[in-house]
Amino acid sequence: MKNIALVINRLIPRSRIEPVVDQIAARCAGCDMTAVYVENESGEWKGLAEARRLGIDLVITLGGDGTVLAGSRMFADLGVPIMGVRLGRLGFLSEVEPAGVAAALEDLANGRFFTENRLMLESRLLRHGEILHRGFCLNDVVLSRGATLRAIELEFEIDGEPVARYAGDGLIVSTPTGSTAYSLSAGGPILAPDLGAVLVTPLCPHSLWIRPLVVGPESRIRVYLTRPAVKPEVVLDGQESWTIREGDVLQVRRSEYPCRLVRFEPKSCYQLVRRKFQGENAR
C-alpha cells in the first residue's frame, strides 16, 4: 500500500486527533507511503480531489461511524479497503482504538488483515428523465418531509410493481448495515450485516397496514411524490441532501461497489448490538 487517504473529522478536538495523525505520518515516512489528508472544513471535504487523482490504496478514517460513512461514500467506486479509527462513541463500523493504531498499521503492512464486504446502495434522482443527482450510501437513503411539519404524500414501487401509496413523514431504504440506524428508530428490524437484502421502512405512515419490508438485494426501488410538498429532501447517510419535487423519481438499487471494511479478527455483530443498545447491562 503506497497511497493512503486520511479522512479526518475536524469536529473532534485536535488533542485527540493529532497523536493518531502523528503515528500514521511516522509510519508512512518509514515505509515510503504517501498520506493525503481529506478534512471536513466549512461543510466541504478538502483534499478529496487530490486523493482521488493520486489513486489511493487504503482509506483510514479518524472519527466515529459517521466518518466511516463519509469515507465509504467518497471512495465507493474505487473499491479500496477502509479502516476506521474510533475517536467517537461506541459504534458498529470503526475497528481500531487510538492506542492500537501502530499495531494496526504493522498488521496492514504485513497483510495480517481481511476485509468484510458490506452492501451499499446507489441512488439516482431523475427529473424529466435526466439524472439530476447520483450518490452512494452505506447506511440509508431517506425521502423526508424536511423541515416542514406537514406530511408528504408518496408512492413507491419495487421491481416495477406498485407497493404502497400513503401520507406520512417519508420513507427509508436501508442496507443491513443501516438497519441499526434510522430505520430501527422507525420500527424496522435489525438485519445481520452480511445478509444480502434491502430494507424499506415507511416513516410514520398514516395507515394501519403499511409495515417495513425486507426485499432481495437486486430489487429496484422507485419512489416519487404524489402531491406537491414544501421542501422535501432526499438524504444519504444523514449527511448529503438533495431537493426533490413532484414529478421527480428517486431510484434506489444495490451498488455494484461494496464497502470493504478492514478487520483484524472476527467479531460477532450480535455482541456489538448488545453493547450498543444495552451498554453496561450487556454481558
Of 177, 237, 253, 183, nearest in space to 213 by CA: 183
The 3-state DSSP class for residue 6 equals strand
The residue from 22, 32, 57, 65 that is catalytic is 65
* 239 carries a ligand binding annotation: yes
* 255 carries a ligand binding annotation: no
Give CA–CA dist 270/283, Å, rounded. Answer: 12
Tell me the sheet residues that pair with 144.
Answer: 170, 233
* 243 carries a ligand binding annotation: no
Q: C-alpha grid cell for residue 44?
A: 466541504
* 66 carries a ligand binding annotation: yes
Tell me the sheet residues that pair with 172.
Answer: 142, 201
For residue 159, indicate whether it is catalytic: no
The rounded Cα 252 to chain-centroid distance in angstroms is: 14
- CA angle at 40 for the pair 185 and 231, rounded to the nearest 5°: 50
* 169 carries a ligand binding annotation: yes
* 86 carries a ligand binding annotation: no
* 67 carries a ligand binding annotation: no
1 with 46: CB under 8 angstroms?
A: no
* 117 carries a ligand binding annotation: no
* 65 carries a ligand binding annotation: yes
C-alpha count within 13 angstroms, C-beta hemisphere, residue 166: 19
Region of 237 (left: φ > 0; alpha: ψ -120 to 50; beta: rest) is left
Give CA–CA dist 240/228, Å, rounded. Answer: 22
Q: Can you say which residues are annotated as belonging to the binding site? A: 65-66, 139-140, 150, 169, 180-185, 239
The catalytic site residues sit at: 65
Q: Can you say which residues are annotated as belonging to the binding site for NAD(+)? A: 65-66, 139-140, 150, 169, 180-185, 239
